[in-house]
Structure 1
Amino acid sequence: MWTLQDAKNRFSAVVEAALSGRPQEVTRRGKPAVVVLSAEDYRSLVARAGGPQGSFADHLLAFPGADLPRAKVRPRDVAF
């Protein structure tokens, strides 16, 4: 993990590490800010994320819940 100042001062080392297959995380003010990764890794991530995605409702409707056995329980008696 690099601080922003160190990453700026040693950018060539950050790039070389990313090109060797090790994404480099850079922090700013002690908090994670960015990740430097190779163009090949970036394209791979974009290709995997760019697939068709349905809506959340479609996801819920696709749940195979109808095939699951349900417990046979009765509600408890409540006195008012």
Structure 2
Amino acid sequence: AKSKFSQLVENAMHNKPQFVTKHGNNAVVVLAFSEYEKMIKPKTDLVTFFKTSPLADLELEFDRSKDLPRDVEL
């Protein structure tokens, strides 16, 4: 792989993911960055996620402490 790394990268960018083995076992996959971005992109945006949550209609109560913050020595 060291001697043909550029070719490996080119194949991953223009063709399909490239599988790399170590001692005959699958070790890593080299794929185009655009393909990686598609894999990690959330299916929905955060607002839609919360709106469609099963907990969206749940009434929550939040109590804030009225205590003063603690003194910190610097």
TM-score (norm 2): 0.54
- 5 Å matches for 1:11-22? 11-22=5-16
Structure 1 runs of 4+ aligned residues shifted over 2 Å read 50-53
CA RMSD of aligned residues (A): 1.9
Q: Identity, % of aligned pairs?
A: 39
Higher relative contact order (CA 8 A, sep 6+): 1
Q: Supply the distance in 1 between the matched residues of 2:4 and 2:15 (Cα, whole angstroms).
A: 18
Q: 2:36 matched to 1:38?
A: no
Give the Å deviation of 1:51.
4.0
Q: Supply the distance in 2 between the matched residues of 1:13 and 1:25 (Cα, whole angstroms).
A: 13
> Relative to total residues, which structure has the larger helix share, 1 or 2?
1
Q: Supply the distance in 2 between the matched residues of 1:36 and 1:10 (Cα, whole angstroms).
A: 13
TM-score (norm 1): 0.51
Structure 2 unpaired stretches of 5+: 55-74
Structure 1 unpaired stretches of 5+: 1-6, 59-80
